[in-house]
Amino acid sequence: MTDSDGALAANRTFYRAFSERDVALMDALWAVQAPVLCIHPGWPPLIGRAAVLHSWHGILNNAMAPKIVFHEGRPLVHAGLILVVGNEIIGDALLVATNGFVVEDRQWRLVFHQAGHQVTEIEDPTALPRGPLH
Amino acid sequence: MTDSDGALAANRTFYRAFSERDVALMDALWAVQAPVLCIHPGWPPLIGRAAVLHSWHGILNNAMAPKIVFHEGRPLVHAGLILVVGNEIIGDALLVATNGFVVEDRQWRLVFHQAGHQVTEIEDPTALPRGPLH
């Protein structure tokens, strides 16, 4: 299994924990020693395992939370850390999410999650921006 | 200079290039060999140096672009890659941005930028989430 395969498998596990509301699986996915950062859409950044996991407990235990679908992500492999970017569909909303993984105790673990709403479609990514200025 | 100092200095250079609309400085900041990913607020992800820099050229050359202010970021140091997270203020909007840096040719260079609007204030980060469900 390549590093890329390992990170993509961990990414699928993350979305399984998310969609199945599996708190224990979510807890086990986040790194223990490495510093962690999580930015939910619209939220201020959460830094540190306690704050990050507390936010996920609230989300996963919320019976009103809509269904989530994740499209297989695309890995960007850096030495020591792999970023996986892809689209999430939560209820009617389209989001872009980036997840960062490192190896800790021989397992790929999450150190980063940032998700935000995608409101523009740019069919030609080299076209001049038509969306928000930044 | 520690790795953390180096990444924070590169982060300040990024916001200098952004606020001063310095296209050459922005171009020089993004990694050449390492894979790059940029997600502007509301946009789909841009992958690859050509697409990323093209988007920045459009933004930096837009005379209508509002002023940007960046508050000193907080570094999260991973082996080989440092994430810096902080708030941007663009016009009247409050955003959260994460920037990722690696060393390439002995310089700290950007491989990742993701920014999104911050709409909720959570004073106690361990409080139950009151904002969007995710």
**Which residues in chain A have their CB less than 8 angstroms from residue B83's CB?**
37, 100, 112
Measure B53 CA to nearest chain A CA, in Å: 9
Least CA distance to A120: which residue of chain B?
B43
Domains defined along chain B, listed by start:
3-120 (3.10.450.50)
Least CA distance to B128: which residue of chain A?
A58
Look at residue B91 and give its three-state secondary structure.
coil
Smallest Cβ–Cβ distance between A128 and the set B37, B58, B74 belongs to B58
Contact B42 A119 (CB under 8 A): yes
**Which residues in chain B have their CB less than 8 angstroms from residue A50's CB?**
126
Measure B106 CA to nearest chain A CA, in Å: 15
Contact A100 B83 (CB under 8 A): yes
Using CA atoms, how far apart are residues B61 and A88, in angstroms rounded to an integer? Answer: 31
Mean pLDDT of all residues belonging to chain B? 89
Tens digit of each residue's pLDDT (9 = 90 or more) over A67-117:
899 988 999 999 989 999 999 999 889 999 999 999 999 999 999 999 999
Q: Is B91 left (phi over 0), alpha (psi -120 to 50) or beta?
A: left
Measure A120 CA to nearest chain B CA, in Å: 5
Using CA atoms, how far apart are residues B37 and B59, in angstroms rounded to an integer? Answer: 16
CB neighbour burial string for A87-100, b if at least 16 within 10 angstroms, e if fewer: bbebeebebbbbbb
Compare A129 and B6 and report the one with higher pLDDT.
Answer: B6
Tens digit of each residue's pLDDT (9 = 90 or more) over A12-66:
999 999 999 999 999 999 999 999 999 999 999 999 999 999 999 999 998 887 8
Q: What is the pLDDT of residue A121?
A: 63
Q: What letter represents residue B33's amino acid?
A: Q
Tens digit of each residue's pLDDT (9 = 90 or more) over B92-114:
899 999 999 999 999 999 999 99
- How far CA B87 is from CA of A62, A127, B53, B119, in Å, comes to 28, 28, 22, 12
Measure B28 CA to nearest chain A CA, in Å: 19
Average pLDDT over residues B45-49: 97
**Which residues in chain A have their CB less than 8 angstroms from residue B43's CB?**
96, 118, 120, 122, 129, 131-132
**Which residues in chain A have their CB less than 8 angstroms from residue B64's CB?**
133
Tens digit of each residue's pLDDT (9 = 90 or more) over A55-74:
999 999 988 878 899 988 99
Q: What is the pLDDT of residue B33?
A: 97
Contact B78 A46 (CB under 8 A): no
Query: Do residues B114 and B98 touch, judged by C-beta distance below 8 A?
Result: yes
